[in-house]
Amino acid sequence: MPDAARSRRLKPEQREAAILDAALEAFARHGFADARIEDIARVAQVSKGSVYLYFPTKQALFEALVRRDIGPRVAMARGFLDAYDGPLEIALQNLADMVSAIIDSGQTPIYPRLLVAESQRLPELVDFYRREVVGVLLAALSGLFARAMTKGEIAQDDPVMLAHLFVAPVLKALMWALVFTPTEPEPFRAGPYLAAHIRLFLKGLQHA
C-alpha cells in the first residue's frame, strides 16, 4: 500500500467515529429505512464492508449512534442540574436558553424524531431512552423542583409532575423545528416561546 493511501487511512476509533457521523447525517436526512449503508460508507470514506466490521447490522449502527451522542449530553445536563443550588428561575432560564440557541441556530438534534419514528421497530431503543435519557433527566429536574419547594421558592406540588410539565414545551419546540422548519416561510422561534413558557410556568407555581 502506498504511503499516501496509508496516511489517508484513519485509525480504528476514527473510522468508527466517521461512520457514526455519516450515519447521523444519513438517518437525519432520510430516516432509518431510507438511509443506505452504502451512502454512509462513502461519506465516512470507508468501504461498505467496513461498516459491518464495526457494527453487525444497520440497526446496531443506529443504536450505537444514539448511545454515543445521547449519553454525554444527558450526563452533562444531569451534572448541571444536580449540582445547581441557585434560584429556580435562573436554572430554568439557562436550560431554555441552551435549547433555544441550539434550535434557533438550525442544529436541532434529530434524535427525538428518530425515537418517535422508529419506536415501533426498536423497542430496545425505547427502553434505553426511558432508562438513560428520560428517566435521568426527569429525575434531575424533579430534584430541582423538590429543592425549590424545600427552599420555599414555589408552592408544594408533585415534583415529578412539574418536571413532565416543564419539559413539554421544550419537546414541542424541538419537534416543531424538525417537522415544520424545512418548509416554513417564517420559522418558529424557540427563544420567545420558551421565555413565555417559563414566565407562565413560574407564575403558576407561586404560592397561593
Partner DNA sequence: GATGAATGAGAGTTCATTCAT
Partner DNA sequence: TATGAATGAACTCTCATTCAT
Residue 61 to residue 44: CA distance in whole angstroms? 13
Q: Which of 66, 16, 8 is nearest to 41 (CA)?
A: 16
Q: Considering only residues 42, 68, 78, 172, which one is a binding residue for a copy of itself as defined by CB under 8 A? A: 172
As measured in angstroms, the least distance from the Cβ of 4 to a copy of itself is: 26
Beta-carbon contacts of 42 under 8 Å, excluding residues fewer than 6 positions away, are 22
Q: Is 4 in the site for DNA (CB under 7 A)?
A: no
**Which C-beta is closer to DNA: that of 56 or that of 204?**
56
Residue 4 to residue 122: CA distance in whole angstroms? 42
Q: Is 12 in the site for a copy of itself (CB under 8 A)?
A: no
Element at 203 (helix H, strand E): helix 190-205
Q: Is 145 in the site for a copy of itself (CB under 8 A)?
A: no
Residue 22 to residue 177: CA distance in whole angstroms? 22
Binding residues for DNA, how many (CB under 7 A)?
A: 23
Would you tell me which residues interact with a copy of itself (CB under 8 A)?
28-34, 113, 115-121, 123, 126-127, 129-130, 134, 157-158, 161, 164-165, 167-169, 171-172, 175, 178-180, 182-184, 192-193, 196-197, 199-206
